[in-house]
Amino acid sequence: METEKYLRMDKLPHIWCPGCGHGTILNSFIRAFSESDLDQDKTVVISGIGCSGRATGYLNFDTLHTTHGRAIAFATGVKMANPNLNVIVMTGDGDGTAIGGNHLIHAARRNIDLTVILFNNQIYGMTGGQFSPMTPPSDMATTAPYGNIDQNFDLAQLVEGAGGTFIARGATFDPRQLKRLYLAALKHKGFSFVESFSQCPVSYGRQNGSGDAVEMLKSQKKNTVDFKKWQQLSTEKKQLLYPLGILKEVDSPESEYTVRYKKIIAKANQEGAL
């Protein structure tokens, strides 16, 4: 694969901390994109604010680095204005589930053809380690110095409940699986969502005694299991492990939002319409 084709090499090195998992996500993404048949010139990558927000600066596409939490709302406008574009959103757990949580569930509800990659490092990294809606209870954060009392989302369930038609989860300890998930998400016609566990040794790990990046990747592996194996576990064990893989896939391109809007255009142009 020609990495240079998809990266803005003159913008490297990236700003992410040593040991950060975000580079692994970017790596897996460009590998997936290179294996897809999507046209690079017809692809827009959109991000919000935070560590994940910086991903767009390194990617050689039309890229839009928006305001905090709003990437999906901007992406909805881009996709509707020109449905021929492939529109990909890169967001974080704070960006995508706290300040931007409303846009996430509504885009899933519309089933608009966006591919959302959510970098989940369970913390606000760029602002210095405050808890996010994905920080597990009892964890330490700079704004939870006595431990976090908030319950975290199960994002896959949240997006499923909202109506997403492709839901997957991967982790940076297995970049090959991440690549496969991104490729499947890119091919899906409809709203696709890939929660991507990423390690943050600096802003999360240091406060929580998680060790270095290697230790954190080992923990990821320990706390996750393949979705097929997970389905066979007891209810009790299911709660202790995160399933990885494609968790839901509904193939119904006709229910995609821009496809449905085309029918509205046809209806409005029928004789005797409003």
Partner 1 sequence: MKTKIFKPEKRAVLLQGDQAVVEGALAAGVEFFAGYPITPASEIAEGFARELPKIGGKFLQMEDEIAGMAAVVGASLAGKKSITATSGPGFALKQENLGFATMVEAPLVVVNVQRVGPSTGLPTSPSQGDLMQTRWGRNGDQEIIALAPASVAESYELTIKAVNLSEKFRQPVVLLLDEVIGHLREKIYLNDSEEIEIINRKRPTADQDPKSYLPYQQTDDLIPPMADYGSGFKYHTSGLFHDQSGFPDGKKETAKLMQDRLHNKLHNNLEQIIFYQKDIRNDDRVAVLSYGSTARTAISAVNTGRKDNLKAGWFKLQTVWPFAEREVAKLAAQVETIIVPELNQGQLIREVERAVAGQARVLGINSYAGELIKPEAIRDLMEEVL
Chain contacts with partner 1 (rule: CB under 8 A): 11, 40-42, 44, 46, 56-57, 60-67, 70, 73-82, 84-85, 102-103, 106, 261, 264-265, 267-269, 273-274
In 4-110, DSSP assigns E strands to 43-47, 62-65, 86-92
92 forms beta bridges with 119
List all residues 6 or more positions away from 84 whose beta carbon is below 8 Å from its beta carbon. Answer: 42
Supply the minimum distance, in Å, between the C-beta of residue 155 and partner 1: 18
Q: Which of 26, 5, 31 is nearest to 180 (CA)?
A: 31
Q: Where do we find the tokens 């097929």? A: 228
Q: How far apart are CA 21 and CA 11, in angstroms?
A: 18
Q: Where do we find the tokens 């996430």? A: 104
Supply the minimum distance, in Å, between the C-beta of residue 54 and partner 1: 10
Q: How far apart are CA 117 and CA 247, in angstroms?
A: 15
Supply the minimum distance, in Å, between the C-beta of residue 61 and partner 1: 6
Q: Which is nearer to partner 1, 117 or 184 (CB)?
A: 117
Q: Which is nearer to partner 1, 56 or 207 (CB)?
A: 56
Is 154 strand, coil or helix? coil
Angle CA(38)–CA(40)–CA(41) in degrees, nearest 5?
Answer: 120
Supply the minimum distance, in Å, between the C-beta of residue 118 and partner 1: 18
Q: Which is nearer to partner 1, 74 or 119 (CB)?
A: 74
| Cβ count near 109 (within 10 Å) | 15
Q: Which is nearer to partner 1, 15 or 214 (CB)?
A: 15
Supply the minimum distance, in Å, between the C-beta of residue 28 and partner 1: 21
Q: How far apart are CA 184 and CA 191, in angstroms?
A: 12
Q: Which is nearer to partner 1, 227 or 261 (CB)?
A: 261
Supply the minimum distance, in Å, between the C-beta of residue 248 and partner 1: 22
Tokens representing 37? Answer: 């048949």
Q: Which is nearer to partner 1, 149 or 268 (CB)?
A: 268
